[in-house]
């Protein structure tokens, strides 16, 4: 039921048609009987969108590609961990004041930790955007030895400097994989996401069966990267686990209620 007391939540991104945040959060609201509704908005002008959050009294917001870094300057307060990461993916509106958080790093660490220990392992992460910032922070916080490879050199070097780790241009992935004993490979880019499902962030020749391979893309559930990794015997971590765990943090922050994790996971998997 939607009425004058319904609390509104949303996700801001560009593109946004693929997002499963609405089905996940609306299923959770319905399951616990919470009077909330969650919508997806395709946003190009993040400043105007944040003004809209204030003007309409939207209670909570998810922020996705490409706005996780740019949104920060329009918020009133930002959580210390989100400041260190340099990206916000979660906003809560408290009486007109907007507070920014980052749940991506929690989602990534929880998803990886289900399959492997991170501490002491060499981790190669492809990407240096907002999600990559969070995941890199999470990997380091768990004692992983991180190396970043990225197609945009300035962006990659900046993140590597901020995190105090090594950087290689993606065009030189061959040298990177020769110099790093990669035990965990993470795709933190949109490459391979619907509709471009044939894309891979790196050629399959750089995979080996002793790696754990994680892809933050969750639509499709099995990206080409994960399919090729599975075919040679890698342990794989799909984007749903990270997506659900980061959503659990958001749900509990916004509502103050315990998230129905299994319901949220099932809603996403059913939609996929």
Round to whole Å and give the CA distance between 223 and 258: 31
How does DSSP classify residue 73? Answer: G
CATH superfamily entry for domain 105-237: NAD(P)-binding Rossmann-like Domain (3.40.50.720)
Round to whole Å and give the CA distance between 248 and 50: 23
Mode of pairing for the β-strands spanning 182-187 and 122-126: parallel
- So what CATH class is 7-102+244-271? alpha beta
Round to whole Å and give the CA distance between 258 and 28: 10
How does DSSP classify residue 256? Answer: S
Helix (H, G, I), strand (E, B) or coil at 182: strand
CA count, 13 A, side-chain hemisphere, 125: 32
In what order do the strands lie in the sheet containing 235-237?
Answer: 166-169, 145-150, 122-126, 182-187, 212-215, 235-237
Report whether 255 contacts 36 (CB < 8 A): yes
Find out whether the peptide bond into 66 is cis, omega within 30 degrees of 0: yes
The length of the chain in residues reads: 272
pLDDT value for 229: 98
Measured between alpha carbons, how far is residue 148 from residues 69, 115, 123, 129 in Å?
Answer: 18, 21, 9, 11
Closest by CA position to 11, among listed 50, 51, 38: 38
Annotated catalytic residue 68: yes
Provide the residue-wise pLDDT of the chain in tens; the chain has 272 residues: 899 999 999 999 999 998 999 999 999 999 999 999 999 999 999 999 999 999 999 999 999 989 999 999 999 999 999 999 988 999 999 999 999 999 999 999 999 999 999 999 999 999 998 889 999 999 999 999 999 999 999 999 999 999 999 999 999 999 999 999 999 999 999 999 988 999 999 999 999 999 999 999 988 999 999 999 999 999 999 999 999 999 999 999 999 999 999 999 999 999 98
pLDDT value for 254: 98
- The 10 Å Cβ neighbour count of residue 256 is 7
Segments making up each domain of the chain, as ranges: 7-102+244-271, 105-237
Which of the residues 44, 59, 68, 209 is marked catalytic? Answer: 68
């Amino acid at each position: 039921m939607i009425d004058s007391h319904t609390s509104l939540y949303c996700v801001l991104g560009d593109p946004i048609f693929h997002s499963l945040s609405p089905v996940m959060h609306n299923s959770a609201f319905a399951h616990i009987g919470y009077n909330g509704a969650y919508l997806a908005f395709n946003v190009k002008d993040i400043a105007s969108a944040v003004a809209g959050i204030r003007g309409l009294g939207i209670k909570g917001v998810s922020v996705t590609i490409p706005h996780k870094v740019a949104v920060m300057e329009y918020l009133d307060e930002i959580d210390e961990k989100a400041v260190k990461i340099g990206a916000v993916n979660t906003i809560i509106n408290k009486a007109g004041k907007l507070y920014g958080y980052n749940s991506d790093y929690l989602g990534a660490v929880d998803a990886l930790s289900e399959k492997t220990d991170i501490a002491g392992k060499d981790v190669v992460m492809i990407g240096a955007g907002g999600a990559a910032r969070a995941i890199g922070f999470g990997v380091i916080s768990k004692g992983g030895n991180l190396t970043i490879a990225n197609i945009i050199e300035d962006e990659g070097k900046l993140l590597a400097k901020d995190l105090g780790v090594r950087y290689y241009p993606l065009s030189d992935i061959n040298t990177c994989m020769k110099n790093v004993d990669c035990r965990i490979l993470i795709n933190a880019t949109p490459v391979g996401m619907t509709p471009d499902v044939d894309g891979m962030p790196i050629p399959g020749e750089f995979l080996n069966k002793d790696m754990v391979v994680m892809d933050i893309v969750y639509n499709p559930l099995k990206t080409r990267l994960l399919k090729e990794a599975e075919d040679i015997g890698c342990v794989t971590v799909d984007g749903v686990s990270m997506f659900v765990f980061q959503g659990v943090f958001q749900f509990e922050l916004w509502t103050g209620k315990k998230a129905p994790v299994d319901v949220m996971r099932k809603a996403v998997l059913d939609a996929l």
